[in-house]
Structure 1
Amino acid sequence: MDATAESNLESGLHGESGAPKIQERLQKRHLARIEDVERRKETKKSQSVAEEKGDYFSSAFNSERACIEELLSSCSGADRAAVTQKLDEATAKILLLQKFLNDSILFLTQYELRQAQAALQKLQTTLAETREEALPKKKFAFRARTKAADKASAQASAAPPPDAGTPADSGVTKVDRAPVSKQCGFSNINSEFLTKTAEEIQNQDLLLTHLTNCKVRLYGSPNTLHLKHIDSCEIRCGPVSTSVFIDHCRNSTLVFPCQQLRTHNTTNTQVYLHVTSRAIVEDCRGVSFAPFSWSYPTLDEDFSVSGLDRERNNWSQVDDFNWLAAGTPSPNWSVIPEGDRKTTWEP
Structure 2
Amino acid sequence: MDAMPEVSRESGFAGESGAVKIQERLQKRHQARAEDAERKKEAKESKSVAEEQGEYFSSSFNTERASIEELLSGCSGADRAATARLLEEATAKTQQLQKFLNDSTLFLTQYELRKAQAALQKLQSSLAEAREEALPRKKFAFRARAKATDKAPAEDAPAPDAAAPAVSGGAQVDGAAESEQCRFSNMDGVCLTKTAEEIQKRDVLLTHLTNCKVRLFGSPSTLHLKHIDNCEILCGPVSSSVFIDHCRNSTLAIPCQQLRTHHTTDTKVYLHVTSRAIIEDCHGVSFAPFSWSYPTLDKDFSLSGLDQARNNWSEVDDFNWLAAGTHSPNWSVIPEADRRTNWEP
Post-superposition CA distance 1:297-338 (Å, at most 9, x none): 111111111111100011010000011111000000000000
Residue 305 (structure 2) aligns with: 307
Partner of 1:69: 69
Larger displacement relative to structure 2 (272-281 or 36-45) = 36-45
- CA 154–50 in structure 1, closer or farther in 2 if over 3 Å, else same: farther
- Check 1:176–1:206 CA distance in 2 against 1; reply closer, same or farther (3 A cut): farther
Deviations 1:129-167 (A, max 9, x none): 2112211237989xxxxxxxxxxx8676x8xxxx66x51
Match of 1:12 in 2: 14
Match of 1:146 in 2: none
Distance 1:40 1:167 in 2: 72
* Whole-angstrom distance in 1 between the partners of 2:156 and 2:28: 98
Indicate the RMSD between aligned Cα atoms, in angstroms.
2.5
CA contact (8 A) 1:250 1:269 kept: yes
Whole-angstrom distance in 2 between the partners of 1:318 and 1:119: 20
Q: Which residue of 2 aligns with 1:60?
A: 60
Do the aligned partners of 1:178 and 1:186 also contact (CA within 8 Å) in 2? no
**Secondary structure of 1:289 counterpart:** strand
Match of 1:97 in 2: 97
- Residues 183, 207 of structure 1: 8 Å contact kept: no
Q: Do 2:182 and 2:194's aligned partners in 1 also have CA atoms closer than 8 Å?
A: no
Rounded Cα–Cα distance in structure 2 between residues aligned with 1:41 and 1:176: 68
Post-superposition Cα deviations, 1:84-112, rounded to whole Å, max 9, x if no partner, equal: 21111111111111111112111111111
Alpha-carbon separation, structure 2, partners of 1:184 and 1:319:
29
Q: Which residue of 199, 202, 215 maps to 2:200?
A: 202
Question: What SS does structure 1 have at the residue aligned with 2:106?
Answer: helix
Q: Could you tell me which residue of structure 2 aligns to residue 253 of structure 1?
A: 251
Task: Give the Å deviation of 1:213.
Answer: 0.6
| Residue aligning to 2:148 | none
Report what 1:149 is aligned to.
none
Query: Does the aligned pair in 1 maintain the 2:99–2:240 contact within 8 Å?
Result: no
Does residue 282 of structure 2 align to residue 280 of structure 1?
no
Corresponding residue number in structure 2 for 1:110: 110
Which structure: greater helix fraction?
Answer: 1
Q: CA deviation at 1:172?
A: 6.3
Mark the CA change 1:176 to 1:40 in structure 2 (over 3 Å): closer, same or farther: farther
Counterpart-to-counterpart distance in 2, 1:9 and 1:133: 98
**Matched residue SS, 2:56:** helix
**Equivalent of 1:167, from 154, 163, 168?**
163
What SS does the aligned partner of 1:271 have? strand
Q: Greater shift after overlay, 285-294 or 71-80? A: 71-80
After TM superposition, the structure 1 stretch with the greater mean CA deviation from structure 2, 235-244 or 48-57, is 48-57
Match of 1:133 in 2: 133
Please report the TM-score for the alignment, with normalisation by the length of structure 2: 0.87
Contact 1:197–1:218 (CA<8 Å) still a contact in 2?
A: yes
Give the C-alpha shift of residue 18 in structure 1.
3.9
Match of 2:97, SS state, is: helix
